[in-house]
């Protein structure tokens, strides 16, 4: 079970998208896990052949627990599946029940008629369900074909049905997400000594450049100013790598790339901040396409495990909502958050002349354990410089 966020302790397994014997490639989505932030498509990072699926739907699995066994190249997946000490294969209806001898202790050698051991032949395709379980399933509206027996007799019991009913009950997604946000933000404010910097950036040049660019490309390829901002943030981070990464027990660990967590508010409340990977190396067109795709999937609840687990910094943009400045709370274990406000028309003084200009309020919330105000200022200054040379951001 991958960790899909710093505060995740376990996930509820939903379904497999692969089966034993199937070849899997690195990065392929192989299953779905339900977390406090919704259903996440989990990718596999080990290429090979799936040998055995261990997780089953409805099961709550702690982070780090094995969900499946994979045979790497050269290994025999069938052998791995066979040696994995596990009960009957999924879905197999099999009688494992040894008939108890009536007489305890030593049994006379001659088997009397009433002692004849009876073997119950397995009925293929028909699951064994106790009468009480069957009736409870009817009461609860549980589909028995989806219930897995937990006992040693491979019989679906009333407890199995009740467990399935609890798992099937639609979780209160909003409340769970609220809890997750509460936990992460409390931890942040408890542990991270934030410092805050803000600066106004004249965005006229960047906007006019973007408008010109957009006029020259088909409608489908037009980019939002938000995408340009993200690109600028990613490039600016190259100057101040201590803002991009994680702080944990071992101290600061720089991020492996500029994976910008984009804060996306969800319909019905709550928010997620999935990652756009390697933003500094994306063209503006690619970045825009990926941003659109990410927004769509975030809002339809189809985020991937890698997007949830590895943002190296978060960018929050409340600009659309008419807020001029946003001072964000860092999402642990990240060490910085960039806030971008609404573009506002303001009087701007350039070389002694006052002229109207659209101004962007950029803020930085950063972890004082890792960086200082001087370095933070450097980042915002670099962001300003980049936005004054938008061609670099193309």
Partner 1 sequence: MSATIRINYREALRQGLREALLRDERVFLMGEDVGRYGGSYAVSKGLLEEFGEERIRDAPLSESAFVGAGIGAALNGMRPIVEVMTVNFSLLALDQIMNNAATLRHMSGGQLSVPVVIRMTTGAGRQLAAQHSHSLEGWYAHIPGLRIVTPATLEDARGMLFTALQDPDPVLIFEHASLLNVEGEIAAEPRAVDIDYAAVRREGTDITLITYGGSLLKAMEAAVKLAELGVSAEVIDLRTLRPLDDATIVASVSKTRHALIVDEGWKSGGLSAEIMARIVEQAFYELDAPPGRICGAEVPIPYAKHLEDAAIPQIDGIVAAARDLVK
Q: Quote the least distance from Cβ 102 to partner 1, whole Å.
A: 5
Q: Quote the least distance from Cβ 148 to partner 1, whole Å.
A: 16
Contact code string over 166-185 relative to partner 1, x by CB under 8 A: --------------------
Q: Which residues contact 175 (CB under 8 A, 6 or more apart)?
A: none
Cβ distance 70 to 44 under 8 Å? yes
Q: Which residue stretch of 14-22, 99-107, 222-230, 248-256 sits at the interface with partner 1 (rule: CB under 8 A)? A: 99-107
Asked if 74 is part of the footprint of partner 1 (rule: CB under 8 A), the reply reads: no
Start-to-end CA distance of the chain, whole Å, equals 38
Pick the binder of partner 1 from 82, 87, 132, 355 (CB under 8 A). 132
Q: Which residue has the tokens 């803000």?
A: 198
Q: Which residues contact 229 (CB under 8 A, 6 or more apart)?
A: 315, 317, 340, 360, 387
Asked if 392 is part of the footprint of partner 1 (rule: CB under 8 A), the reply reads: no
Q: Quote the least distance from Cβ 177 to partner 1, whole Å.
A: 37
Q: Quote the least distance from Cβ 58 to partner 1, whole Å.
A: 19
Q: How many CA atoms lie within 13 A of 255 on its CB side?
A: 30
Orientation of helix 284-299 relative to helix 225-237, angle to 10°: 110
Orientation of helix 373-388 relative to helix 225-237, angle to 10°: 130
Residues in the chain: 394
Asked if 105 is part of the footprint of partner 1 (rule: CB under 8 A), the reply reads: yes
Nearer to partner 1, 92 or 107 (CB): 107
Q: Quote the least distance from Cβ 150 to partner 1, whole Å.
A: 10
Site for partner 1 in 106-125 (CB under 8 A): 106-108, 112-115
H helices of the chain, in order, are 77-83, 131-140, 158-168, 173-191, 204-216, 225-237, 284-299, 305-309, 373-388
Compute how many residues bind partner 1; rule: CB under 8 A.
Answer: 26
Q: Which residue stretch of 27-35, 105-113, 256-264, 320-328 sits at the interface with partner 1 (rule: CB under 8 A)? A: 105-113
Pick the binder of partner 1 from 72, 87, 135, 186 (CB under 8 A). 135
Nearer to partner 1, 154 or 313 (CB): 154
Pick the binder of partner 1 from 104, 121, 125, 170 (CB under 8 A). 104
Pick the binder of partner 1 from 8, 40, 155, 359 (CB under 8 A). 155
Asked if 103 is part of the footprint of partner 1 (rule: CB under 8 A), the reply reads: yes
Which three-class secondary structure state does DSSP give residue 32?
strand
Nearer to partner 1, 84 or 112 (CB): 112
Asked if 130 is part of the footprint of partner 1 (rule: CB under 8 A), the reply reads: yes
Cβ distance 238 to 228 under 8 Å? no
Cβ distance 357 to 343 under 8 Å? no
Asked if 131 is part of the footprint of partner 1 (rule: CB under 8 A), the reply reads: yes
Q: Which residue stretch of 126-134, 214-222, 240-248, 264-272 sits at the interface with partner 1 (rule: CB under 8 A)? A: 126-134
Between the alpha carbon of residue 258 and those of residues 145, 158, 282, 309, 318, the distances in Å are 46, 51, 10, 14, 21
Q: Can you give the binding site for partner 1, defined by CB under 8 A?
A: 97, 100, 102-108, 112-115, 130-135, 151-153, 155, 157-159
């Amino acid at each position: 079970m991958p960790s899909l966020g710093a505060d995740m302790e376990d996930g509820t397994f939903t379904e497999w998208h692969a089966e034993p014997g199937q070849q899997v490639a690195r990065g392929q989505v192989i299953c779905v896990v339900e977390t406090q932030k919704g259903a996440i498509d989990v990718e596999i990072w080990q290429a090979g052949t799936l040998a055995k699926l261990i997780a089953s739907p409805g099961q709550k699995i702690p982070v780090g627990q094995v969900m499946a066994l994979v045979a790497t190249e050269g290994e025999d997946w069938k052998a791995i599946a066979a040696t994995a000490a596990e009960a009957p294969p999924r879905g197999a209806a099999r009688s494992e029940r040894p008939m108890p001898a009536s007489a305890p202790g030593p049994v006379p050698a001659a088997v009397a008629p009433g002692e004849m051991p009876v073997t119950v032949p397995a009925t293929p395709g028909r699951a064994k369900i106790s009468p009480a379980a069957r009736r409870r399933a009817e009461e609860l509206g549980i589909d028995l074909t989806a219930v897995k027996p937990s006992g040693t007799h491979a019989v679906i019991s009333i407890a199995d049905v009740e467990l399935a009913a609890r798992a099937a009950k639609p979780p209160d997604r909003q409340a769970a997400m609220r809890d997750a946000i509460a936990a992460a933000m409390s931890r942040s404010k408890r542990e991270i000594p934030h410092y805050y910097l803000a600066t106004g950036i004249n965005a006229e040049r960047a906007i006019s450049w973007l408008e010109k660019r957009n006029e020259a490309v088909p409608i489908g390829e037009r980019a939002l100013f938000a995408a340009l901002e993200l690109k600028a943030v990613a490039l600016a981070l190259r100057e101040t790598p201590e803002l991009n990464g994680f702080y944990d027990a071992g101290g600061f660990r720089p991020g492996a790339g500029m994976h910008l967590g984009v804060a996306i508010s969800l319909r019905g409340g709550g928010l997620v901040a999935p990652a756009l990977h390697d933003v500094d190396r994306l063209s503006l067109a690619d970045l825009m396409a990926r941003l659109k795709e990410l927004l769509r999937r975030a809002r339809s609840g189809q985020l991937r495990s890698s997007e949830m687990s590895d943002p190296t910094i978060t960018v929050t943009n409340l600009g659309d909502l008419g807020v001029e400045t946003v001072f964000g709370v860092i999402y642990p274990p990240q060490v910085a958050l960039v806030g971008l406000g609404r573009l506002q028309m303001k009087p701007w003084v350039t070389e002694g002349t006052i002229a109207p200009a659209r101004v962007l309020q950029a803020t930085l919330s950063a972890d004082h354990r890792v960086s200082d105000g001087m370095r933070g200022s450097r980042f915002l200054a670099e962001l300003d410089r980049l936005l004054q040379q938008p061609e670099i951001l193309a």
